Amino acid sequence: MEIGMIGLGKMGMNMVLRLLEGGHRVVVFNRTVSKEEMVINKGAIGSNSVKEFAGKLTAPRVVWLMVPSGEPTDDMLNEVLQYTQKGDIIIDGGNSYYKDSIRRAKLCGEKGIKFMDCGTSGGIWGLKNGYCSMIGGDDETFKYCEPIFKTLAPEDGYLHVGTHGSGHFVKMVHNAIEYGMMEAYAEGFEIMKSSDFDINLEKVSDLWNHASVVRSWLLELAHNALKEDPELNNLKPIVDDSGEGRWTLKEAIDKAVPAPVLADSVFMRFRSRQENSFAARMLAALRHQFGGHPIYK
């Protein structure tokens, strides 16, 4: 079928390539022209503006937004709405906050435009392995767009999880679980590295992926990283977050659901970005005050 893709970043570009390989007609728009040219050479149809982009799509248009969450998504959605019409479909495939998706679905609905939120997992490996898609919206729109989801996903790799907002809600929780798993692996490998044994961490990461209870794709990626740089000396210990862990933690608090692993994994990311922690200095000062313990200037 035909689809328009706006946003050719780390995931958007590979999604376009996968759709082209699946035989779909794909119209693209991206602010950076050089990225457009890369997929045009593979068969995509380029455009110089959102207006031109919309004009190259046949009604009912299917427009997939793959841009950063928050204000960039709102800005692009508002621009797209200027050139779409009743019956068209807009899919937000980025990591948007689910309450934003509910709001955007209402905005589109007031204009007679259908909206779907698609939580998309697969990262930079999606072109090869496919994208796991968690989709929110009405049944009719999902069924119309299903050939797109089927092409992007591996076998059994997409699911219509519920009404507007539910796709991004499930993806939010997915990413929070990912935070906790990553933190557990990181702590475990540091304990092994700090032990009195001369343990080859790269070999252990490979070993654990063979019938071990803790085997996973994340562990495969850990093996890749340790194989490239066994001491990880080329990395600074700074870990960013893109919002999903915070949003899930807020949801847990609002619903009084205990989530200590998630909370710790989010706070550890904050700690990684502190070069000179005030809290740590305060702890040192308190120990010195009450017990005369040494401090380090």
Convert the pLDDT of each residue in 1-28 to its tens digit: 999 999 999 899 999 999 999 999 999 9
pLDDT of 123 > 90? The answer is: no
Q: Is residue 126 part of a domain?
A: yes
Asked about 231 being catalytic, the answer comes back as no
User: Are 144 and 189 contained in the same domain?
Assistant: no
CA angle 133/89/164 to nearest 5° reads: 55
User: Are 138 and 193 contained in the same domain?
Assistant: no
pLDDT of 151 > 90? The answer is: yes
User: Tell me, what CATH number does 36's domain have?
Assistant: 3.40.50.720
Q: Is residue 103 part of a domain?
A: yes
The CA distance from 284 to 51, in Å, is 60
User: Are 52 and 156 contained in the same domain?
Assistant: yes
The pLDDT of residue 33 is: 86
Q: Is residue 174 part of a domain?
A: no
The CA distance from 98 to 90, in Å, is 15
* Residue that terminates a domain, selected from 103, 135, 164: 164
Which pairs with CB-CB distance under 8 Å and at least 24 residues apart come from 45-51? 50/6, 50/76, 50/79, 50/80, 50/82, 50/83, 51/82, 51/83
User: Are 247 and 129 contained in the same domain?
Assistant: no
As a whole number, mean pLDDT of residues 174-187 equals 97
Top pLDDT among 17 and 31 is at 17
Q: Is residue 206 part of a domain?
A: yes
Of all residues in the chain, the percent with pLDDT exceeding 90 is: 94
Full residue range of the structural domain in which residue 219 is found = 179-280
User: Are 93 and 29 contained in the same domain?
Assistant: yes
pLDDT of 130 > 90? The answer is: yes
**Minimal CA–CA distance to 115: which of 97, 133, 142?**
142
User: Are 143 and 206 contained in the same domain?
Assistant: no
Convert the pLDDT of each residue in 184-235 to its tens digit: 999 999 999 999 999 999 999 999 999 999 999 999 999 999 999 999 999 9
User: Are 228 and 102 contained in the same domain?
Assistant: no
The pLDDT of residue 297 is: 86
* Residue that terminates a domain, selected from 131, 164, 197: 164
* Given 2, 79, 146, 178, the catalytic residue: 178
The pLDDT of residue 10 is: 87
Confidence of residue 121 (pLDDT cuts 50, 70, 90): very high
Q: Is residue 289 part of a domain?
A: no
2 phi/psi in degrees, rounded to 5 = -105, 140
| Mean pLDDT (the chain, rounded) | 96
* Given 171, 183, 244, 251, the catalytic residue: 171
Helix (H, G, I), strand (E, B) or coil at 114: strand
Amino acid at 280: A
Asked about 178 being catalytic, the answer comes back as yes
As a whole number, mean pLDDT of residues 76-83 equals 97
User: Tell me, what CATH number does 188's domain have?
Assistant: 1.10.1040.10
User: Are 30 and 153 contained in the same domain?
Assistant: yes
User: Are 187 and 157 contained in the same domain?
Assistant: no
User: Are 147 and 12 contained in the same domain?
Assistant: yes
User: Are 127 and 254 contained in the same domain?
Assistant: no
**Could you tell me which residues come within 8 angstroms of residue 124 by beta carbon, excluding any fewer than 6 positions away?**
10, 11, 14
Number of domains in the chain: 2
The pLDDT of residue 248 is: 97
